[in-house]
Amino acid sequence: MARIYTLLFLVMAIWGFNLSALVVLVNNVEPITLTAARIFVAGISVLIISKLIGIFRLPTKEEWKTIFIITIFNVAFHHTFLALGLTRTTGVNAGIILGAAPLVTMVLSIIILHNQISRLRAFGFLLGFIGILITSLAGTEGIATVSSGDVMIFLSMFVQAFSFILISKLNPTFDPRLLTGYMLMLGSIFIFVVSFILEGDFVQLSKLLSWKLGMLFLFSAIIATAFGHMTYNFAIKNVGPTETTIFVNLNTLFALLGATFFLGEPIMKSDFIGLIFILVGVFIGSGTLEYLIKKRRMRAR
């Protein structure tokens, strides 16, 4: 278990810094075309790794159905909304909104998996929701401004959280790391079709041949997407969706650090306030506070 948690910490750092890489990439290449190429390279990488570690096999007809359903949300919708959102909002806002994933995952697990929730955890969800509102609405132009990019980032986070529940509920019968490879490959096909319809200019991918954009692309595709999603989906299968998403608040921290140091984006007062609400909400809503209280009471006995 400690090994999985250590890997999750590493993945959160990679995903946090990957947001900054994606901001640079989508400002140089059309977002959906870039996403299709990135997901395709990631899928190929995962399947090669799966072959090397001896877990590769072809899915059955029923398994393909499961892969297809999860892919729609975990890859196609999630990465498309993320890429489009990053062209319309800041890396700071994106990082903070994505940090609410544990709360959304918890709520969906209650609705779909019928998990029980205490009043304390419900209060944590409320705090996290307030944090999202503060971050998304309190922009430089005031509380009345709603960024379309923030909405897309929220949708990206929501459909991914829903996919985590699907992975747990549908319980795929083969290794989740191999599942990741097939999802990425299938998802890249969907996104390529969308990019051809909406953008239709694949020649622009030649910009990735420059060393700077090329290195950022390989980092995002192979390290962040391939390795990151393999590890994260493996953790969901072994420790559960709610427990795994607790680590996403670390993603928020690293995303903010990356946006500040690599992109030079300022962190506004409203960002700090929203981040505090979300982190406290995650701490309470994920059940971590309840666990610590119960552990303390057991020691007191």
Determine the residue type at 115: N
Name the residue with tokens 């890489």. 21
Alpha-carbon span 153 to 141, nearest angstrom:
19
Write the CB contacts of 294 (distance below 8 Å, at least 6 apart in sequence). Answer: none
Structure-block tokens of residue 296: 């303390």
Task: Report pLDDT digits (tens) over 221-255.
Answer: 999 999 998 898 788 777 766 667 667 767 777 88
The Cα 106–Cα 242 span in angstroms is: 6
Quote the pLDDT of residue 145.
54
Q: The tokens of 73 are what? A: 């949300």
Mean pLDDT of 78-84: 92
Q: Would you state the pLDDT for residue 272?
A: 81
* Residues listed for the chain: 301
Q: pLDDT band at 142, cuts 50/70/90?
A: very low
Q: DSSP readout, 189-223?
A: HHHHHHHHHHT--GGGGGGGGSHHHHHHHHIIIII
- CA 192 vs. chain centroid, Å, equals 20
8 A C-beta contact, residue 148 and residue 88: yes
- If residue 293 lies in a helix (H) or strand (E), which one and from where to where? helix 288-300
Tokens of 10: 């590493």
Place of tokens 């419900």: 122
pLDDT of residue 144 exceeding 50: no
**Scanning the structure block, which residue is given the tokens 């729609």?**
72
Mean pLDDT check: name the lowest of 22-26, 33-37, 39-43, 172-176.
172-176
d(CA 172, CA 288): 28
**For the segment 181-200, what is each residue's pLDDT rounded down to a tens digit?**
999 999 999 999 999 998 88
pLDDT digits 0-9 by tens, 88-137: 888 878 887 887 787 788 788 888 888 777 888 788 878 877 877 776 66
- pLDDT higher for 141 or 197? 197
Residue 99 φ/ψ, nearest 5 degrees: -70, -10
The closest alpha carbon to 102, from 223, 4, 12, 234, belongs to 12
Say how far apart CA 180 and CA 263 lie, in whole Å: 30
The torsion angle over the Cα atoms of residues 220, 155, 178 and 112, rounded to 10 degrees, is: 150
Contact between residue 246 and residue 102 where contact means Cβ atoms under 8 Å apart: yes
Pick the residue with more confidence: 138 or 9? 9
Distance (Å, whole) CA 205 – CA 244: 34
Of 12-26, 190-204, 205-219, 267-281, the range with the lowest mean pLDDT is 267-281
**Average pLDDT of the chain, as a whole number:** 85
pLDDT tens for 37-60 read 999 999 999 999 999 999 999 998
